Amino acid sequence: MAPHGNPEAPASAASEINREAPKVAATTNESTTTKPASGPAVTSHGATEETPWSLWEVFVRSSRGLSHVHAGSLHAPDAAMALRNARDLYTRRNEGVSIWVVPAEAISSSDPDSKGSFFESPQGKDYRHATYYTKSEGVKHL
């Protein structure tokens, strides 16, 4: 079987293992420096020196009438791109009718180490729940 132009068509049997050592490590970074300088192309510096895109948290409203719920996070250079990326990443199957993106660094959160004390006050206050009141059991519409 030799499908037209299939780069993966077997030079040898497909199940045969290539015993040659991988050439990946040897060619590191060379391809970037030898490119002709056309357009704003790749400069000689490696990917690590790029300005990293910042982290955004994504919230999706799945349908009208519901709140936005945290869906995940992504990287983007600005809010407009973050929204577009969020659409492609988190709503490929009509999962949302509205999206919020928030810079991750703008979110303040409670300290996980003090979760005990921080959430202490509702404890022992069962009377805030309807189930605390048992005398009315059996009374209709209450």
Q: How many CB atoms lie within 10 A of CB 27?
A: 8
How long is the chain?
142
124 is a contact residue toward another protein (CB under 8 A):
no
CA dist 106 and 55 (Å) reads: 10
Of 50 and 137, which CB lies nearer to another protein in the complex structure?
Answer: 50
Residue 74's contacts (CB-CB under 8 Å, 6 or more residues apart) are 55, 56, 58, 82, 85, 86, 89
Nearer residue to another protein within complex by CB, 92 or 129: 92
69 touches another protein (CB under 8 A): no
Cα–Cα dist 74/60, whole Å: 13
Start-end of H helices in 1-142:
30-33, 79-90, 115-118
Q: Does 53 bind another protein (CB under 8 A)?
A: yes
The answer to whether the CB of 102 falls within 8 A of the CB of 56 is yes
34 interacts with another protein by CB under 8 A: no
37 touching another protein, by CB under 8 A: no
DSSP bridge pairs for 55: 75
Position 6 contacts another protein (CB under 8 A): yes
Using the rule CB under 8 A, is 136 a contact of another protein? Answer: no
Count of positions on this chain that bind another protein (CB under 8 A): 51
What is the nearest approach in angstroms of another protein to the Cβ of residue 43?
A: 8
Could you list the residues that contact another protein (CB under 8 A)? 1, 3-10, 14-25, 27-28, 31-32, 39-43, 47-48, 50-53, 55, 72-75, 77-78, 81, 88-89, 92-93, 109, 112-113
